[in-house]
Structure 1
Amino acid sequence: MRVRSKDWWERVVLKEFEDEEWKDNFRMTRRSFNKLCGMMEGVLKPEVVTVRAPVPLEMRVAIVLYKLASCAQYRLVANQFGVHKTTVKKFVYIFCKGMVSSPVIHNFIKVPTTKEAIGIARRFEQKFNIPQIIGCIDGTHIPVLPPSDGYQEFANCEGWPSYVLQAVVDDMYRFWNINCKMPGWTYDDNVLRQSTLFNQAHLLPKEPREINGVPINHFLLGDPAYPLMDWLIKGYAHSPNITPEQESFNAYLSSARTTAETAFERLKSRWRVLLKRSDCHFTFTPHVVGACCALHNFCENEKESVNPIWTEEAAALALDLPQPGLVQHLGQCTWSEDQSGPDRLFECKLPPAPVILFRCLGIL
């Protein structure tokens, strides 16, 4: 057996790294890393009986996080940690499959309870003046290495192969529902109709709130590509006949929907394996995506901030492979710092959002 040096891990990382260096390499501080190791012990812990000394649990988790964060080849990760490249691949597969198939992922990605939904709606209303929102739904493309006989099926509108990741995001940029099983050519509305979310929408928390005498349930916000449902609303289609009030309604919805765009940006900035076509099999890519979304939520729950440099580097990488929804601008309307009343208004002086919303829906 070839002797490989583990000096970088054993001497540099464990003994010399500060929190900032932990975040640069593993996307989280050492405190959060130790907490994650405890949660993944049942998935990645070494065998009791082995022929040679097993790789410790902490090192296994570090190898996986380093791979997901850097999108480096298995060979490069192996050289960094002093293991064989097949060992790196094995740990990545065990980690991602274990997280998705075990109860661990349900600790991170789950539909909010009624109490949680009320809190999400309250915070959305405080930020965007639209009541009863419990999430924003959107999609982004994840590069994939397609099968040789199915390239066209995976090619998206930009011409490169991908999976469509559909996600519902709360006000704190956390995913509470994800779907990544449809190839890149699939339109957003078809992705939605094939998802568990669509089939189980009747189970979403409702908790109606009476506004001007009309009970309004909780709902999701979507872009114009999605169908209009009693639990999903979208903006008005742009046309010569659109009214100023309808344009204002669209502006408020667009501002709120940037929550999903920001969440995707943070996700791909943290876990760059989602930025480039990875070296894993296309049937395994959804497991990687699910694990990265769960890790994203874990980092958000632990208040692990995203370094702006990560976003800049991710945007630079994306130039080689343009990805819909990676880097979005927040639009021309911004929140006014001067609050003369109970409602925060846009600098473009739109009327209060609840008035627009319910006039457009025919309630006022």
Structure 2
Amino acid sequence: LVIHYSATMLSVVSRKKLIKQLLREGVRELSLEMLNQLHHKQRRWWVRPWIQRREELGASSRLLQELKEEDPETYRNVLRMTAPQFQELLELVDPLIKKQDTVFRQAIPCKTKLEITLRYLATGDSFRSLALLFRVPHNSISVFLPEVLSAIYEVLQPFIKVPETTIQWEEIQKGFEYKWNFPNLCGALDGKHIRIKRPPNSTSMFFNYKGTYSIVLFAMVDADYCFRYIDVGQDGRANDSTVFRNSTLKIALEQNLLNWPRGGLCVGDDAFCLTTYCLKPFSHRGLTVEERVFNYRLSRARRVVENAFGILASRFRVFNTPIPLNVNTVEILVKTACSLHNWLRQTSPRTYFPSGSVDDEDLNTGVIAPGAWRNMPSLMLPIDRLYSSNNYGRDGEEVRQWYMHQFMTQLSVPWQMTSIGIEPILTVENE
């Protein structure tokens, strides 16, 4: 009996060991299979083969080089500047954007990063499209783009600097008087909405009156279509009064921090407040001839800021699509585009502003030939107008009335009556 019991127990123990062994082997095989599947899902290469051929076949090495040598005009259209200008800009930003090679991979050349950034500004193309053109990973573009934008703005910021002395302001006044027949004028004001993608966790913030999301670019422009002051980043909810009121320009003007010349003026449309230093047109119905002439003269001078914004949007078409970047990067992008605008306007006016780019008025007939930018679509919207008593100032009205009378007497120009649709009366002297 004892021997039979012992044999039975040994049989049970053997079966348990066998079961445990089978389970261990099954778990081992299952684990190996899972690891094998994970291994197949891992990246098949460290760098995709077509990206590895960037130096031989990428746009930086092939297409742009061919255009530079064979078709300079198309090269300029691609990057919005000539090859010598690109080289000059590259030398300026190179120390700020250069990265060191590592043991794993070579750094993207500064030349390629600058070309991609300029092409993005020029077109607003998606990062994936730029990745295919330049053979650079799209996630790498999203990393270096803000760095390159900041570098460009840093080196070109002196071209967008606010005048610091009264003499510098007086030079701007001379430009407005000579070109636009408006004395004492230091700048033309306007603001535009820059469309952006809806920021995460954003409901009403950045939501503008057109039902889209935007930040505001507020600017003052001189007689040569250059930005002299920019304020970027107020959210799209802002209307006309809050944009100007919250700008550092208004604060500096009221606290006399700009060495503003005595009697200096800026002009804006009806969205701005009427003050002793900021004039706007008459807006009520039944305007007199004198008021219509004043409005024409003011509009003629203010046309520079309309054209500056128009040229900016037509040259840098990233503004013609909602910008899919975070708000901080969009702010840097806008500042960079404005600084590039000024740099190109001042260093190569003929290529950046070819004939027909801006509005051209025939002084004999009063007919205005619209600039080429007006035929292009734009998502830049004017700031919302808020009509209230805050837009009117008694002292400002006295200044406006003074200029209205001067434009009919000492400051009149021969073509102003024709320009408002009134034929001048010709007098014939008796023989």
Give the alignment's TM-score, normalised by structure 2. Answer: 0.69
Alpha-carbon distance, 1:171 to partner:
1.0
Q: How does 1:265-344 map to 2 (within 5 A)?
A: 265-303=310-348, 304-306=351-353, 315-318=375-378, 323-324=381-382, 344=413
Aligned to 1:177: 229
Aligned to 1:156: 208
Task: Name the larger-Rg structure.
Answer: 2
The question of whether the paired residues in 1 share the 8 Å contact of 2:266 and 2:279 is answered with yes
The question of whether the paired residues in 1 share the 8 Å contact of 2:187 and 2:266 is answered with yes
Aligned residues: 323
Q: Deviations over 1:152-200 (max 9, x none)?
A: 3322222221111101111111111111211222112211111111121
Alpha-carbon distance, 1:305 to partner:
1.8
Cα distance change on mapping 1:61 and 1:220 into 2, 3 Å: same
User: Does 2:196 match 1:130?
Assistant: no
Alpha-carbon distance, 1:324 to partner:
3.6
Aligned to 2:29: none
Q: Deviations over 1:30-54 (max 9, x none)?
A: 1111111122123212336664222
Structure-2 separation of matches of 1:99 and 1:32: 13
Aligned to 1:39: 92
- Any gaps of 5 or more consecutive residues in structure 1? 209-216, 326-340, 352-364
- Any gaps of 5 or more consecutive residues in structure 2? 1-46, 359-370, 384-409, 421-431
Cα distance change on mapping 1:63 and 1:322 into 2, 3 Å: closer
Cα distance change on mapping 1:73 and 1:314 into 2, 3 Å: farther
Q: Deviations over 1:52-109 (max 9, x none)?
A: 2222222211110001111000010111011100121222110223445x4x243121
Q: How does 1:1-364 map to 2 (within 5 A)?
A: 1-3=47-49, 4=51, 5-6=53-54, 7=57, 8-17=59-68, 18-47=71-100, 51-100=104-153, 102=154, 104-112=155-163, 113-201=165-253, 202-208=256-262, 217-240=263-286, 242-303=287-348, 304-306=351-353, 315-318=375-378, 323-324=381-382, 344-346=413-415, 348-349=417-418
Alpha-carbon distance, 1:128 to partner:
2.1
Higher relative contact order (Cα pairs below 8 Å, separated by 6+ residues): 1
Greater displacement, 109-118 / 305-314: 305-314
SS at match of 1:189: helix
SS at match of 1:203: coil
The question of whether the paired residues in 2 share the 8 Å contact of 1:272 and 1:314 is answered with no
Cα distance change on mapping 1:350 and 1:65 into 2, 3 Å: closer
Sequence identity (%): 28
Structure-2 separation of matches of 1:114 and 1:289: 28
Cα distance change on mapping 1:230 and 1:73 into 2, 3 Å: same
Q: Deviations over 1:263-295 (max 9, x none)?
A: 000101111111211221233211111111111
Structure-2 separation of matches of 1:224 and 1:181: 22
Alpha-carbon distance, 1:134 to partner:
1.5
Give the alignment's TM-score, normalised by structure 1. Answer: 0.80
Cα distance change on mapping 1:82 and 1:48 into 2, 3 Å: closer
SS at match of 1:229: coil
Cα distance change on mapping 1:309 and 1:345 into 2, 3 Å: closer
